[in-house]
């Protein structure tokens, strides 16, 4: 019985360690309209966005990238979470390389938006 308990504890500890390692330095943020989340990426930084969703609304939130004063470009739109839809939407991910200014905006008619991202050095 003692051996079984020790083995179970070791397996649970291993899975806890692996989950912690895989989570890394990802951060999550909830954005409420009309607020926006802005991040600056320097030359040696990248931003990885794993999740961008919104609740409510029909207009989608957007992730916009502005590089060196060029016109901003929409690189990702929010997946709308809808309990009444037949099937869930695909949640895309994107990697943005610096130097750039990244702005995450929630749609005005949405309840809120949720994003999971990580800034990292190359």
What's the pLDDT band for 86 if we cut at 50, 70, 90? Answer: low
Query: DSSP characters for the chain?
Result: -HHHHHHHHHHHHHHHHHHHHHHTT-EEEEE-TT-EEEEEE-TTEEEEEEEEEEES-SSPPEEEEE-TTPPPEEEEEPEEE-TTSSSPPP---EEEESSEEEEEE--TTSSEEEEEEEEEE-
Q: Is the model's pLDDT at 116 over the cut of 60?
A: yes
Sorted by where each starts, the structural domains of the chain and their CATH numbers stand as 26-121 (2.60.120.340)
Q: Is the model's pLDDT at 6 over the cut of 50?
A: no
Enter the pTM of the model.
Answer: 0.74
Q: Is the model's pLDDT at 29 over the cut of 50?
A: yes
What's the pLDDT band for 36 if we cut at 50, 70, 90? Answer: very high
Q: Is the model's pLDDT at 12 over the cut of 50?
A: no
Average pLDDT over all residues of the chain = 82
């Amino acid at each position: 019985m003692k051996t079984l308990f020790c083995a179970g504890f070791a397996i649970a500890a291993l899975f806890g360690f692996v989950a912690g390692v895989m989570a890394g330095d990802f951060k999550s943020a909830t954005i409420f309209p009309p607020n926006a989340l802005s991040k600056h990426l320097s030359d040696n930084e990248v931003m990885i966005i794993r999740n961008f969703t919104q609740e409510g609304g029909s207009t989608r939130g957007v992730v916009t990238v502005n590089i060196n004063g060029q016109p901003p470009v929409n690189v990702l739109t929010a997946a709308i979470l809808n309990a009444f839809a037949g099937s869930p939407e695909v949640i895309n991910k994107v990697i943005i390389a610096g130097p750039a200014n990244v702005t995450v905006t929630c749609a005005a008619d949405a309840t809120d938006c949720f994003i999971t991202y990580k800034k990292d050095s190359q």
